[in-house]
Structure 1
Amino acid sequence: MALTQLFVHPLKSCRGNALQRAEVTPQGLRDDRVWLASRADGQFISARSHPRLVQVGVTRQDDGQWCFTAPGMPPLLTSPADYRQRVPATVWKSAFSALHGDAAADAWLIHYLGEPLQLLWLGDSSRVQKTTADTLSFADGYPYLLLSEASLLDLNSRLAQPVTMRHFRPNLVVDDTFAFEEDEWRRFRIGAVEFEVVSRCTRCVLTTVDPDSAQPDPQRQPLATLLGYRRLEEGVCFGVNVIARNSGTLQLGDAVEVLDSALAFD
C-alpha cells in the first residue's frame, strides 16, 4: 500500500490543494483549515449553506501572505500579521477564539458571497475534540480524513456519473486496499508517521456539491447512492477520521503499513 494523494483545504470548505509533500502536525496537515469564513458573531459558514466556497482557491505565498482567488473576483492578498483582534468563533457546538483584522479581506468575502461575513485566522489558537483531547484546526471534528482509492472505485461502479476524491475532501488517499478496508483499521503508519483511526466519517449534503461548478447535484448524488449501501450505525459513512501520534513529513509514494486492524491479514 502507498500514499497516492495529499490534500489541504486552507479555508474551511474551499478548493483543495493537491500536494507532493506535507508536514504533519497535531492539528492536521500544515496549512489545512487555518482560515474560516464566519458571520459577525463568529458562527462558521461552509459549503453546505454556501456552495460557492468550493470555488475559492487559497495558497500561501513565499513572503508569508496568502492569496485568495474566486470566479469573477480580483485576487486578494492578506497577511496573518494583520489579524490581531481575538474574537469568538464557533464550529458546530465547539466555541473557541480566532483572529480577525483585515477589513479588505472581509470586503472581498462579502462581495463574493453577497452577505455580511468576516474572515478569521486560526493563529496560535486551536479547538479540542472532546472525545480525544487532540487539538484541531477549523476542521469539523478530527484533524485528518483518510480514504482509499478502492472505496471510491466501488462507489463509482454504482453511479451513472462518476465522482472524484474532491467530492469527499480527504487529506490522505491510499491505494492497494480492498473497498472499505480502512473502516477496520485501528492504527497504521505512513512513512514514519503513525496514525490512529478514531471513527468512520459520516457524510452530508456537501458531497453532492460539484467541486468545479459549485452546483448541487439534482439527484443528490453520490449521497443518495451511499444512503443505499453505506448507512451504518453512525450514519452514512465514507472514509475514516484519524489523528496523528507523532509529527513528521509525508510525501506521495510513502509506504502504508497497517499496525492494528479488526481484520486478520495473512
Structure 2
Amino acid sequence: MGAAASSALTGLSLPQLRLRLALLASAQPRTAWLGAAALGLATVAALSAAAWSIRGRRGRRRRRRRRLQQVGTVAQLWIYPIKSCRGVPMKEAECTEMGLRSGHLRDRFWLIINEEGNMVTARQEPRLVLISLTCENDSLMLSAAYTQDLILPIKAPSTNVVRKCRVHGLEIEGRDCGDEAAQWITSFLKTQPYRLVHFEPQMRPRNSKQIVDAFRSTDKVAYPDASPFLILSEASLVDLNSRLEKKVKANNFRPNIVISGCRVYEEDSWNEILIGDVEMKRIMACGRCILTTVDPDTGIMNRKEPLETLRSYRQCDPCDQKVYGKAPLFGQYYVLEDPGTIKVGDPVYLLDQ
C-alpha cells in the first residue's frame, strides 16, 4: 500500500497533504493501523518532496523576478592547494561552501607547519610561492624549480598522525602527509624543519566569524585566512599597475576568481553576484599585508611594493579602521549562497534586489 499511497499523494498540494494526514489520524486505529502507518510514511515522504520542490520553484521564481545585469566575465580561476604556495589555474571548478574544488585539489586544504604546529606562510618563508602541488595520474606531486618532484598518495595513510595546528590563532587539525613530504619541503627551504598536513572532510573547519565578525556563523574555512573566495577584477589590477614602476600580477594577491569587463574597483560595490548557477555574497574587502610584496616568480620579498602604493590611495573609511587598521584594501571576500560549477568565460551577473 505504501507505493500506491505515495503515487496517489504526489499530485497533491501541501495543504491537501496535511488534510489527508489529519483525516487518517481520525480513522479507526484498530482496523487501519497498518494502512495508516504505510500511508503516514508515504505522506511524510511526499511532504518532504513537495516542500523541496516548492522551495526550488520559489528560488527560481525569485531569481527570475530579480533583474540580472551583466557586469563582467570570468577571466581566471585559481586554486591554491597549499596555503601560500603556487596556484593552479583552472578552466572550470566547483564552488563549495569551503572554496573551489577541482577533482582531488581543493583550495588551501594543505598547510605547512613548524614543529610547534603553527602555520608557516610566505610572510615568513617567501620561497613557499615557488612550491606547487598538482594532481597527476591519480597521485599528488610536489614540485619546485631545480628540485626533484615528489609523488604523494592522494589520501594520506590513516596510520599517519593527525596534528593539532594553529591558523591565525585558531586551532584546527591536519593529517600529516609523511616524512618524505616533510623532508622535501625542509630541504627546499633550508631554514628549519617543516611538515605538510592535509585537512580531511571529517575534520572540524574553522569558523570565519571567529576570525572576522563580519562573516556569518555558518561560514567555514579550512586553512584560508578567513574567506572561502577572493574576487579581484582585471580593471583594478590595471589601475594599480598604472601607478607602479614594476608591474605586478594577479597572483601577487592570490585571488580565486579574476573578472574582466567591469569598471575599476566595481567589485567593491557588488552585493550578490550570479555566475552560472552559483550565487555568491560579498562580505568585506580584503586588507592587504606584506605577502603581496613577494614576487610569485622568484620568491623574493621586497617589503615595499605594491603595498606602499596601495596605501597611498586604497585606505578604508575611518569608521572601518577597527576592522582593517592601516591595511590597504584590494579585492573582495565572498561566500557561497548556492553551489555549482563555474567556468572561465562565464558571464558574471549582479543580482539586483
Question: Same-fold call, TM > 0.5?
Answer: yes
Contact 2:276 2:347 in 1 (8 A): yes
Instruction: Say if 2:206 is the partner of 1:127.
Output: yes
Q: Which secondary structure state, in structure 1, belongs to the residue aligned with residue 184 of structure 2?
A: helix
Higher helix share: 2
User: Which of 141, 158, 164 is the matching residue for 1:67?
Assistant: 141
Q: Is the 8 A contact 1:22 1:29 kept in 2?
A: yes
Which residue number in structure 2 is paired with residue 95 of structure 1?
171
Give the SS at the match of 2:224. Answer: coil
**Of the candidates 151, 166, 170, which is equivalent to residue 255 of structure 2?**
170
* SS of alignment partner, residue 185 of structure 1: coil
For 1:200, the aligned partner's letter is: A
Q: State yes or no: 1:209 paired with 2:294.
A: yes
How many Å separate the matches in 1 of 2:120 and 2:187? 15
Unaligned runs of 5+ in 1: 262-266
**Pair member with larger Rg:** 2
Q: 1:146 matched to which residue of 2?
A: 231
Cα–Cα, structure 1 residues 202 and 55, in superposed 2: closer, same or farther, change >3 Å?
same
Please identify which structure carries the higher strand content: 1
With the length of structure 1 as denominator, give the TM-score of the two structures: 0.93
8 Å contact kept, 1:41–1:88: no
- Verify the 8 A CA contact 2:142 2:150 in the aligned structure 1: yes
Deviation, structure 1 residue 22: 0.6
Distance 1:223 1:46 in 2: 17
Q: Does residue 2 in structure 1 map to residue 73 in structure 2? A: yes
**In structure 1, how many angstroms separate the alpha carbons of the residues matched to 2:137 and 2:229?**
25
Deviation, 1:62, is 3.1
Distance (Å, rounded) in 2 between the aligned partners of 1:161 and 1:73: 28
Mapped contact 2:156–2:176 kept (Cα < 8 A)? no
Identity %: 36
What is the correspondence of 1:1-266 to structure 2 with a 5 Å cutoff? 1-30=72-101, 31-63=106-138, 65-79=139-153, 80-82=155-157, 84-114=160-190, 115-124=192-201, 125=203, 126-130=205-209, 131-132=215-216, 133-217=218-302, 220-232=304-316, 233=320, 234=324, 235-260=327-352
Superimposed CA distance per residue, residues 154-188 of structure 1 (whole angstroms, 9 cap, x where no aligned partner): 11111111111111110001112111111111111
Distance in 1 of aligned mates of 2:288 and 2:144: 26
Greater relative CO (CA pairs within 8 A, separation 6+): 1
How far did residue 43 of structure 1 move? 0.6
Shift of 1:101: 4.4
Distance 1:101 1:46 in 2: 18
Structure 2 length normalisation: TM-score? 0.71
* Shift of residue 16, structure 1, vs aligned partner: 1.0
> Deviating runs (4+, > 6 A) in structure 1?
none
**C-alpha contact (below 8 Å) 1:78/1:102 kept by paired residues:** no
Question: CA separation in 2, counterparts of 1:73 and 1:61?
Answer: 17
Distance 2:135 2:110 in 1: 11
Deviation per CA, 1:96-129, whole angstroms, max 9, x where unpaired? 1111141111111111112111110011122221
Between the aligned partners of 2:177 and 2:86, the Cα distance in structure 1 is 23
Work out the CA distance in 1 between the residues paired with 2:281 and 2:116: 34
Structure 2 gaps, min length 5: 1-71, 210-214
Distance 1:160 1:110 in 2: 35
SS in 2 for 1:6: strand
Query: How many residues in Structure 1 have an aligned counterpart in Structure 2?
Result: 259
**Is the Cα–Cα contact under 8 Å of residues 177 and 198 in structure 2 kept in the other structure?**
no
